[in-house]
Amino acid sequence: MPQPLPPLADILSTARVVALPMATRFRGVDVREALLFEGPEGWAEFSPFPEYGDVEASVWLAAAIDYAWHPQPAAVRDRIPVNATVPAVAATEVAAVLARFDGCRTAKVKVAERGQSLTDDVARVRAVRELLGPAGRIRVDANAGWNVDEAEHAIRMLEPFDLEYVEQPCASVPELAVVRLRIRNLDVQIAADESVRKASDPLAVARAEAADILIVKAQPLGGVRRALEIVADAGLPAVVSSALDTSVGLAMGTALAAALPDLDYDCGLGTSSLFTADVAAPALAPSGGSLPVGRVTPDAALLDELAAPAERAAWWRDRVARCHELL
């Protein structure tokens, strides 16, 4: 039974809009904006990327409201192992990026960046492998940047670096299915991200046998409970990841990862290490390669220090109002 929707005024009464500077440009972003608000259960985050339309963004708001207003599913673990995230930087910059992720022995490496080449990707992944050594785990994320032929070629070029999986090599579910079939002789799995979180039917990828692993994110999927349902219905192992969240949003991710019956892979929740400042003191950042499970309360002084400009704060508040009306 759907929970009652809190009044818009209750959400906006505590709303704070922040702008977090990035240590390295990531996903085309130099500054990450987010709107935080407090409910009866604690603080939550609403941070769909600015280019997302209101219909898609309203799902993120539903997730934040659920997290702020309602208790979350019971946890079955109290710490979450996480991976380092390597943006599409030059190979010479990889060491500095990995140094920000304390104790992480798994790295997710961005590839297929617009304006770069496969040669750049190979050099970046090679640098990660050299730094992690043979015991480290490497996964790459193409963000749907390849067509089928490009994906097959790239995976075969990167496979010698002992890939754990390739995340969203192509855009569509049929393309993922073809790529998975073409590389069946390699020990490389296919993971689906955009084909789950941006799909009208997040289970289509599982029915089409187009992926081995699901990437799930609490905000885009409508909250912890909805994400757990999708994983259970898909019957595939899951990796919980972030959408470049503040520490408040990352705490929602740890609630999801903590509630999964099985957690076979390190999660992509260490991304506060990509910021030069965050809203919590200390930030929810990897320590010994993992994060603790639990809600995060932002620091009042940091909320003031990292406050977005007035016009951006007004833009976010207007966006919340439009999305709330859709709910």
Does the bond joining 282 to the residue before it have cis omega, within 30 degrees of 0? yes
Report the SS3 class of residue 197: helix
Dist CA 258 CA 240 (whole Å): 10
167 annotated to bind ligand: yes
Q: Could you give the angle at the alpha carbon of 220 between the alpha carbons of 259 and 311, nearest 5°?
A: 125
Both structure tokens of 276: 């030069």
325 annotated to bind ligand: no
- Looking at residue 29, its pLDDT comes to 86
What single DSSP character describes residue 288? Answer: T
Report the SS3 class of residue 295: coil
The question of whether 198 is a catalytic residue gets the answer: no
Considering 16, 32, 217, 226, which one is annotated as catalytic? 217
193 annotated to bind ligand: yes
The question of whether 217 is a catalytic residue gets the answer: yes
Considering 16, 108, 110, 124, which one is annotated as catalytic? 110
Q: Which residues of the chain have pLDDT under 50?
A: none
Domains of the chain: 8-72+301-326 (3.30.390.10), 79-297 (3.20.20.120)
- Looking at residue 199, its pLDDT comes to 85
Dist CA 64 CA 54 (whole Å): 15
Rg over CA atoms, the chain: 19
Both structure tokens of 66: 């659920």
Answer yes or no: are the C-beta atoms of 112 and 87 closer than 8 Å: no
What single DSSP character describes residue 324? Answer: H
